[in-house]
Amino acid sequence: MSDEIDGYCDPAFAGVRDAFAENFARGEEVGAAVAVFVDGRPVVDLWGGVADHKTGRPWRADTPVITFSCTKAVTAAAALRLAERGVVDLTAPVRGWWPEFAAAGKESATGEHLLSHQVGLPAFDERLNAVDALDPAAMAARLAGQTPVWAPGTDHGYHALTYGWLAGELVRRHAGKPVGGYVAEEIAGDLELWLGADDALIARTARLTTKPLTPPASGPSGAGAGGATPGTPRLKGPAAEMMAAAADPDSLMNRATGNPVPETGGYNDPDLLRGGWPAAGLIATARGLAGFYRELVGGRIIGTDTLRAALTPRVSGRDRVLIADSTFGLGFMRPSTVFAVPGDTAFGHTGASGAIGVGDPERGLALAYVPNRLGGEVSGGMRAVRLTNAVYRALG
């Protein structure tokens, strides 16, 4: 497969190319791309495989794909940019700019609670679909009227989809436009990333699939690939709880990650792609997503002091939704069980497809990996782990 990988790789980062090729050789990829900047300089820009398994359309240098929860970092950056400009005080109660949100015991909720998964609204109470989600104001209004699962600020749990319409309402009310419009005007610039797609972009976006294009050449197909075998010990503790939650359609995990749901086509649904879901709808190339982190680390989206403050962990420990340990600043994941990145100064976000975006101010690093084959993980996966480990090894 290494002969079918296109693009550029600095010789010092040859291990990243090897790890990228290994993911294909294991049968874990259909199409994917990875990009890395160090101190603003591109050192890796690789792509390979198939963008559409139904037509055989190849993955090209400018092939974008939906990146799932990697979106949250972009939405958070939009909110932080507004706060930095003095438009909103994130430490103040949300009720000051969103009076309706004070309902049902949420009077003390702050902007920081919205951005750090502490507000207690990880799932919608009613069943919704991709057409419902085209109206961000209506989605936010539904959440404003809900009773929180826990009192804001007393616990944390991953707001897989609701995060976008909570943090997004902060942007919409203070910028006068949805997150996608604000990102296009204030953040994206020349970066290949979009939150809300037109028909032309949808047509060239990679198609998601859960099936491998070819079986692995040899060996296991990676994390989560196989079931239990005779003699395998039963899982215990958090691992067993995670498996049980994943298998229970009424668990908080499944209610948080599975609603709203597209009517047809899963995350290939054109209504979903048009809607630019602000927690999970970002369409980007690897180069575009890595470029976003390059700009963040370089202080060009928000100031370095604002970024440093945002990276200060607000919550850490057992996640009410993911069960595993998670650590969050304001919108960004920090190293934890669900953000398995070697650098202790790293930040970023994973996506349910296995995608990841990473920044590391101490190392001048910006990294993104975007696939179109969905993994079985709620957050991250071994494909991304191999790539990020290879990058850090190259950095020394």
Q: Catalytic residues, which ones?
A: 69
- How many whole angstroms from its chain centre is CA 277? 12
CB 325 within 8 A of CB 316: yes
DSSP class per residue in 288-353: HHHHHHHHHHTTSSS-HHHHHHHHS-SEEEE-TTTSSEEEESSS-B-SBTTB--S-TT-EEEE-TT
Residues in contact with 300: Cβ distance below 8 Å, sequence separation at least 6, in sequence order: none
**DSSP letter assigned to residue 209:** B
d(CA 146, CA 122): 11
**Residue ranges of E strands in 99-226:** 193-194
d(CA 387, CA 34): 8
Residues in contact with 250: Cβ distance below 8 Å, sequence separation at least 6, in sequence order: none
- Assigned token pair, 365: 């690093």
> How crowded is the C-beta side of 250, counted as CA atoms within 13 Å?
0
Q: Phi first, then psi: what are they for 21, rounded to 5°?
A: -65, -35
Query: Under DSSP, is residue 116 helix (H, G, I), strand (E, B) or coil?
Result: coil
d(CA 180, CA 158): 22
Residues in contact with 112: Cβ distance below 8 Å, sequence separation at least 6, in sequence order: 90, 91, 118, 314, 330
Place of tokens 């020349």: 190
- Assigned token pair, 171: 């942007």
115 CB burial (10 A radius; 0-12, 13-18, 19+): buried
